[in-house]
């Protein structure tokens, strides 16, 4: 593969996708790509945002040839602005929130299940395929503008929520491979947002001090993410270390849009018109569009018209007209951002025994309660975390990211709540880190990170907080009623940097293939000096056993038995430990699990 000329950052968002790029050089300049897309039938225009919506057209939806793109005369699907607009009218053909479905472990994320409530006879696709379609569109748009530097030959970084599980990350990789990306690196969205701030502020060392704690709040279309970054000192220089990552919270713009739809529906019902399920879906989609316009900093209007298709044959004459106002938005946001005590935990709520299948949105919509729980549970994540007398992790700074934060009310309420908690802990008010585009920061930061990996920028350290081990069964004759003892082989030392790899030196071990096998893993927060390859003969209290990994590994030409292997360890940028089993002939098997703090 030719040496990459560009670092390309892609925000594969729930609501919008963004592509940023920078030449890998000593003086990189991050730019945002303009993405050609259909804005109407027979009309292609470029925009920095590609709405993450896919429309599955019927035979009579569009005139022949009217959905042609510069690189595809007959696209199978419509992606972007036109998909979002058309889907607001015909919601049963619209694929949305594919990224949220990627994180839903209770469904087969590779099966054709979107649109979720499609009418009978409408084709469906999987969340992986939908994500791949967005990436294909971005790749095609880039290749058209840069024929001398095709995207497949560049360094590509795709962002994911900090709380994505290993399967969701793997499925994102699969979507990239299907889109024609032979290699891509995943990066957490809050961390990418912070990299964007670093890119815009080369003087960052004069803006923060050793001991400071930075809270990144990312409220996107589908999820809310919290991350803590500590400012530490090393050899007289300031360093940055990501010390805590929050749990997966399916709570964001989608929830707000639905709440707005219910407010508008109540006004329509009060006038004597009742909406059915498909009209409510259309209203939900239209409220999403109207909300984005109201929150756009360049918009001065206090209301946006909303239309809902009528029922029956007279669709035009039966169209229902309503409006979404700025007051509606602030009224709804109030419910998502109540001022609460830091000790208040999110409520689970009593759940019905039978529920309709769908995305597992957070039971408690109060973002501030989730934030309080995060700061209390993550307070012991690292010795570099500033804590108050009650144990609350107490940030000195906040960095906001995500389209929902365009609303001044949201930023002010979060700051107000944080200041209340800090005052109770005896600390000064929090300071807001300004200066980045809330919609484009994640893609910008990913592109900057790619340059930083090449040694051209500042990197945030995020070494693992424990040492990790894999269990190795002792070779001994079978004894009735007695299991062979297990030793612990060190595979990753405390502080190993994420994004790095290392071989595990020492002798070979026998890998069981062709039959179900259980891999046992251990970790230790106290044994920080165990180098990879060391054997711990006696697994005592210092080692904590993790959930085992049960797999069935296969090998060509081997029905079952042992294959001699050595080990290699990789810690990915998203906090996954990959233990590679490497045979003498080069065959490789991968085991992985998350090494981040688990809530």
CA trace torsion 558, 559, 564, 566 (10° rounding): 90
Total structural domains within the chain:
3
Listed residues 187, 215, 235: the one ending a domain: 187
Residues 6+ apart with CB under 8 A from 358: 116
Listed residues 187, 221, 247: the one ending a domain: 187
Read off φ and ψ for residue 408, nearest 5 degrees.
-55, -35
Co-location of 280 and 183 in the same domain: no
Q: Residue 339 class from Cβ within 10 Å (0-12 exposed, 13-18 middle, 19+ buried)?
A: exposed
Q: Which pLDDT does position 38 carry in this prediction? A: 96
In a domain, 182, yes or no: yes
Residue written as token pair 């015909």: 90
In a domain, 337, yes or no: yes
Q: From the CB of residue 32, how many other CB atoms can be counted at a distance below 10 Å?
A: 18
Q: Which pLDDT does position 316 carry in this prediction? A: 46
Picking from 163, 146, 331, 170, the residue whose alpha carbon sits closest to that of residue 247 is 163
* Three-state secondary structure call for residue 409: helix
In a domain, 439, yes or no: no
Co-location of 270 and 407 in the same domain: yes
Co-location of 109 and 225 in the same domain: no
Read off φ and ψ for residue 294, nearest 5 degrees.
-65, -35
In a domain, 457, yes or no: no
Q: Which pLDDT does position 459 carry in this prediction? A: 72
Co-location of 375 and 478 in the same domain: no
Co-location of 430 and 496 in the same domain: no
pTM of the shown model: 0.79
CB 370 within 8 A of CB 346: yes
Co-location of 102 and 151 in the same domain: yes
Picking from 370, 429, 424, the residue whose alpha carbon sits closest to that of residue 395 is 429
Q: Which pLDDT does position 598 carry in this prediction? A: 38
In a domain, 452, yes or no: no
DSSP code for 354: S
Q: Which pLDDT does position 393 carry in this prediction? A: 92
In a domain, 98, yes or no: yes
Co-location of 530 and 471 in the same domain: yes
Q: Which pLDDT does position 412 carry in this prediction? A: 93
Co-location of 240 and 135 in the same domain: no
Question: What is the CATH number for 429?
Answer: 3.30.420.40
Listed residues 413, 434, 455: the one ending a domain: 434
Q: Which pLDDT does position 320 carry in this prediction? A: 86
Co-location of 165 and 237 in the same domain: no
* Three-state secondary structure call for residue 515: coil
Q: What is the CA radius of gyration of the chain?
A: 26
Co-location of 155 and 271 in the same domain: no
* Three-state secondary structure call for residue 173: helix
In a domain, 47, yes or no: yes
Q: Which pLDDT does position 483 carry in this prediction? A: 62
Co-location of 54 and 125 in the same domain: yes
In a domain, 199, yes or no: no
Domain housing 527? 467-594
**Alpha-carbon distance 355 to 373, whole Å?**
27
Co-location of 176 and 240 in the same domain: no
Distance, CA of 495 to chain centre = 24
CB 598 within 8 A of CB 246: no
Token readout for 257 is: 């849009």
**Alpha-carbon distance 520 to 546, whole Å?**
7
Query: What does pLDDT average to in each consecutive run of 10 residues of the chain (599 residues)?
Result: 87 94 89 96 95 92 94 95 90 89 80 84 92 97 96 93 77 92 86 90 86 91 86 75 78 88 90 83 85 81 85 58 89 91 80 51 88 79 76 94 87 95 96 84 93 78 75 65 76 79 86 83 80 87 78 72 88 78 88 56
Q: From the CB of residue 575, how many other CB atoms can be counted at a distance below 10 Å?
A: 21
| Backbone region of residue 312 per phi and psi (left: phi > 0; alpha: psi in -120 to 50; beta: other values) | left
Angle in degrees, CA 525, 529, 530, rounded to 5: 90
Picking from 383, 382, 379, 414, the residue whose alpha carbon sits closest to that of residue 393 is 379
């Amino acid at each position: 593969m030719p040496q990459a000329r560009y670092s390309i950052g892609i925000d594969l968002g729930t609501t919008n996708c963004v592509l940023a790029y920078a030449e890998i050089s000593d003086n990189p300049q991050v730019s945002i790509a303009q993405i050609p897309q259909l804005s109407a039938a027979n009309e292609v225009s470029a925009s920095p945002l590609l709405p993450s919506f896919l429309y599955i057209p019927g035979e009579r939806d569009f005139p022949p040839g009217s959905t042609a793109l510069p690189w595809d005369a007959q696209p199978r699907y419509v992606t972007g602005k036109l998909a979002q607009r058309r889907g607001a009218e015909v919601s049963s053909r619209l694929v949305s929130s594919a990224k949220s479905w990627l994180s839903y472990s209770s469904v087969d994320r590779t099966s054709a299940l979107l649109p979720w409530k499609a009418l009978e006879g409408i084709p469906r696709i999987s969340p992986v395929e939908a994500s791949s379609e967005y990436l294909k569109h971005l790749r095609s748009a880039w290749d058209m503008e840069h024929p001398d530097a095709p995207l497949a030959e560049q360094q590509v970084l795709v962002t994911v929520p900090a709380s994505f599980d290993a399967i969701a990350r793997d499925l994102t990789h699969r979507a990239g491979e299907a889109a024609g990306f032979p290699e891509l690196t995943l990066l957490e969205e809050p961390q990418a947002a912070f990299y964007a701030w670093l890119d815009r502020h080369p003087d960052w060392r004069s803006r923060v001090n050793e001991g400071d704690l930075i809270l990144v709040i990312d409220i996107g279309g589908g999820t809310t993410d919290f991350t803590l970054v500590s400012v530490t000192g090393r050899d007289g220089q300031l360093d940055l270390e990501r010390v805590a990552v929050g749990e997966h919270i399916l709570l964001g713009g989608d929830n707000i849009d639905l709440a707005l739809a219910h407010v508008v529906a109540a006004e329509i019902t009060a006038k004597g018109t009742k909406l059915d399920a498909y009209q409510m879906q259309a209203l939900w989609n239209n409220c999403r569009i109207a909300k984005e316009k109201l929150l756009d900093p360049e918009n001065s209007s206090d209301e946006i018209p909303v239309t809902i298709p009528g029922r029956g044959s007279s669709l035009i004459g039966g169209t229902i007209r309503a409006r979404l106002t700025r007051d509606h938005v602030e009224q709804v946001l109030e419910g998502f951002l109540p001022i609460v005590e830091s000790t208040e935990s999110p409520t689970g709520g009593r759940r019905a025994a039978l529920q309709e299948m769908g995305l597992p949105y957070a039971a408690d919509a109060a973002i501030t309660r989730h934030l309080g729980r995060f700061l209390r549970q993550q307070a012991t994540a690292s010795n570099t975390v500033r804590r108050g007398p009650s144990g609350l992790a107490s940030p000195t700074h906040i960095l906001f990211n995500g389209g929902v934060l365009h609303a001044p009310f949201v930023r002010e309420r979060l700051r107000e709540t944080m200041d209340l908690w800090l005052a109770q802990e005896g600390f000064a008010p929090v300071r807001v880190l300004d200066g980045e585009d809330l919609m484009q920061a994640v893609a910008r930061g990913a592109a900057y990170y790619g340059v930083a990996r090449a040694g051209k920028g500042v990197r945030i350290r995020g070494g693992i907080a424990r040492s990790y081990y894999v269990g190795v069964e002792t070779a001994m004759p079978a004894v009735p009623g007695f299991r062979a003892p297990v030793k612990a082989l060190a595979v990753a030392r405390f502080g190993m940097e994420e994004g790095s790899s290392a071989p595990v030196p020492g002798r070979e071990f026998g890998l069981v293939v062709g039959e179900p096998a259980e891999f046992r893993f251990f970790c230790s927060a106290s044994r920080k000096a165990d180098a990879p390859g060391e054997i711990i003969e006696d697994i005592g209290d210092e080692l904590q056993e993790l959930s085992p990994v049960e797999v069935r590994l296969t090998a060509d030409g081997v029905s079952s038995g042992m294959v001699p292997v050595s080990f290699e360890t990789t810690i990915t940028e998203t906090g996954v430990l990959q233990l590679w089993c490497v045979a003498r002939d080069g065959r490789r098997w991968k085991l992985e699990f998350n090494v981040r703090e688990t809530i």
